Amino acid sequence: MSRFVFISLALVAALLAVDYYVYRHWRRYVRLRSRHRSGIRSLRWTLPLYQVLMPLMAVSMPVYFAFSNWWEVEPKLARALFIGIWVTYYLPKALLALALLVKDGIHFVIWLFRWFQERLLAPVEVPAEVPAEVPAPAPTPTAEARLDLSDMKRMRRREFVQRLGWSAATVPFVVVGYGVFKSLYDFQVFRVDVPIRDLPRALDGLTVAQLSDLHAGSFFSERPMHEAVSIVESLRPDLIAITGDFVNHDADELPLILPALNRLRAPLGVYGCPGNHDHYARIEDVVRGVRSTPVDLLVNQHRTLRVDGARLHVIGTDNTGFRQRYADLPGALDGLQADPHGEEVRLLLAHDPTFWDDHVRPGFPEIDLMLCGHTHGGQIGFEVGPLRWGLARVAYARWAGLYAEARATGAGRQFLYVNRGAGTVGPPLRLGIRPEITLLTLRRALRPSPPPGSLR
């Protein structure tokens, strides 16, 4: 069974389970209340509709991705609409299911307490006749007198619990609304040190600010991009990198970000590379528009910067990944003059993190650090201390943050940083995964000391 089929079946099963769990509670609520309230009785028509929607919505997403050319230019708007409807249907259901689990947990505690009450607090029979000269013993609680929780089963309590549970149905929509209007453009700065072995001393402490996945069409105005640029300016980086996806679907979206991009300045320059969405649009127009700003868009090209005698090679490839094959890394390195004394660092800008494992690590161990984006961190997830998970983790092993692996040849490690993106794709929604601006600082990692008696 292929990985795609397995993930699709698991996804369908999980969605059906969540949907059916919520449906059972809704059915119980509607049937119970329809006996007493005519206003609720009119909701009985939702039950057959729900029964049709459950399997239809569960299988629609895998079928859509399996049998449509969703990666092409033309169906992009349809894809955004489809994903938007799908997320709007399921995300509140998932949050509502959590609320219902809490409600069921309360009922379970009540049931468990009653079980103990009935079995461990059984009544003791009191003798019918007691001699007058013997004091009567204190009455032993009977089934009626002992501690009783039966009031929890009365109508008033039941109504309260049900109303509390279904009132909580509004909470998921409030949470989703918070994700749309509050955290959507609540940029978070990630400060990351990258310890590169034998980094030239001249480059020790060099800072790189990274933006990625601007997706101009996901912005409602020019303001979010201006805010992001203001944050970058406050960081005062030595170099700025933008790793692809300047637009969502069309080059006509560029006016939403070009005024802000025109403000970008850094001592060593501003560089970028294309992403997969830039190809869904008219790539030539995207390249032309971005290059009209201070952004030096590298399309399978490189630039060599000299810093106090050391060389910093900034390399940019076109996108390879997500059913595109436009990168030409050998071509991007063509003409690059290596420093004979090793006083150099090679920084690669490439949009898709899969490019690192599929091409860079096996064939180009001389690349020290690759910056990318593409995953958005999944846009939905959680990051609490060391606990991290995002929806992108389902499809990408490298989905957010810094990764390091030993070089295929030679000593030291290669590094990859995956940016969580500034914009959104699909529904304009972020929950738990905030838009990111990264400040990476290159640090000199010295060679480890050899053990006693070893050769230097």
Would the pLDDT of 416 be above 70? Answer: yes
CB 414 within 8 A of CB 401: no
Q: What pLDDT does 116 receive?
A: 61
| pLDDT at residue 372 in the model | 98
**pLDDT of the residue at 169:** 53
How much is the average pLDDT of 182-208? 90
Question: What is the spatial distance between Cα 92 and Cα 395, in angstroms, rounded to a whole number?
Answer: 22
Q: How confident is the model at residue 447 (pLDDT cuts 50, 70, 90)?
A: low
* pLDDT score of 405: 95
Does the structure show a pLDDT above 50 at 37? Answer: yes
Q: What is the mean pLDDT of residues 71-85?
A: 61
pLDDT for the residue 275? 97
Whether 163 has a pLDDT exceeding 70, the answer reads no
| 249 vs 230: which has the higher pLDDT | 230
Q: Is the pLDDT confidence value at 210 over 60?
A: yes
pLDDT number for residue 452: 47
φ/ψ (deg, to 5) at 208: -125, 120
Lowest mean per-residue pLDDT among 52-56, 144-148, 186-190, 253-257:
144-148
For residues 225-236, give the mean pLDDT.
Answer: 96
Mean pLDDT of 411-437: 90
Q: What is the pLDDT of residue 45?
A: 64
What's the pLDDT at 240?
98
Query: Looking at residues 363-392, what average pLDDT do you find?
Result: 93
Q: How confident is the model at residue 73 (pLDDT cuts 50, 70, 90)?
A: very low
More confident residue, 95 or 328: 328
pLDDT beyond 50 at 34: yes
Judge whether 26 and 46 are in contact, CB under 8 Å. Answer: yes
Residue 315 token pair:
């390399």
The average confidence (pLDDT) of the chain is 80
**Mean pLDDT score, 102-120:** 67
Nearest to 297 by CA among 261, 331, 325, 330: 261
pLDDT at 48 over 80: no
pLDDT for the residue 126: 45
| CA 436-442-444 angle, 5° bins | 150
Q: Please state the φ and ψ torsions of residue 372, each to the nearest 5 degrees.
A: -150, -175
pLDDT at 124: 44
Q: Which residue has the higher pLDDT, 81 or 157?
A: 81
| % of the chain exceeding 90 in pLDDT | 47
When pLDDT is cut at 50, 70 and 90, the band that residue 160 belongs to is very low
Mean pLDDT along residues 383-399: 90
Residue 298's identity, in one-letter code, is L
**Confidence at residue 445, expressed as pLDDT on a 0 to 100 scale:** 87
For position 402, what pLDDT does the model report?
97
**Strand order from edge to edge, sheet including 301-307:** 301-307, 310-316, 344-349, 369-372, 413-418, 401-406
Residue 333 predicted with pLDDT over 90? yes
Q: Could you tell me if 427 and 216 are in contact, meaning their C-beta atoms sit under 8 angstroms apart?
A: no
> Mind listing the domains of the chain with CATH numbers?
3-119+150-177 (no CATH), 187-445 (3.60.21.10)
Question: Which among 351, 352, 313, 353 has a CA at the least distance from the CA of 333?
Answer: 313
- pLDDT, residue 112, reads 67
The predicted model gives 63-78 an average pLDDT of: 60
The answer to whether 313 touches 346, Cβ cutoff 8 Å, is yes
Sheet containing 295-297, strands listed edge to edge, beginning at the edge strand earlier in sequence: 188-197, 436-445, 207-211, 239-243, 270-273, 295-297
Q: Is the pLDDT of residue 183 over 70?
A: no
- Residue carrying the six token digits 């700065």: 189
Question: What pLDDT shows up at residue 114?
Answer: 64
Cα-based torsion angle of the residue sequence 32, 36, 42, 45 in order, rounded to the nearest 10 degrees: 20
